[in-house]
Amino acid sequence: MAFQPVAVTCALCEMLSVSLCQEAIQEFYPQLLLAILCHLYWVIEQNVPQKMVVYSKERGPGSKSKPFDPTSCALEVVKLLFLAAAYDGVVVYANQHHCWDLLSCPKFYYIGIMDLTSDIVKNCEPAILHRILHLVKNFL
């Protein structure tokens, strides 16, 4: 497994955890979303051991840090991206409909994408949705 893409994902996880990047996130949201979803698919196809810790997220004082394997780190970036782009509703929907579980399994990844996409369409501004669709057509 190549670790450079995983390192980039860990860096994104750290960057998206702070609010200083809001303007850049709004500008590059469609590109970031597609890139991290493609990366997530690449990671789950690698069958990386879940015990392989690549990132550890610090919590509040007195709490243990949360370890992440490559898949959970990529999923965390997807969640943080939605939250940073002010699409909290998509995260709530994904939590309620087990999209994260679907996205972490190669067999059900595309079902998770379809589920997530249906809620993105409901929550996204038309201009953002148009930008996402413009980028997606290159994958088709």
Higher pLDDT, 102 or 66: 102
Mean pLDDT of 70-93: 87
Burial of 41 (0-12, 13-18, 19+ CB in 10 A): middle
What are phi and psi for residue 129, nearest 5 degrees? Answer: -60, -40
Name the nearest CA neighbour of 40 among 72, 87, 82, 79.
72
103, pLDDT greater than 80: yes
Domain tally, the chain: 1
Q: Give the pLDDT score at 137.
A: 79
- Burial state string for 100-123 with b = 16 or more CB within 10 A and e = fewer than 16: bebbbeeebbeebbebbbebbeeb
The residue range of the domain holding 74 is 4-136
pTM: 0.80
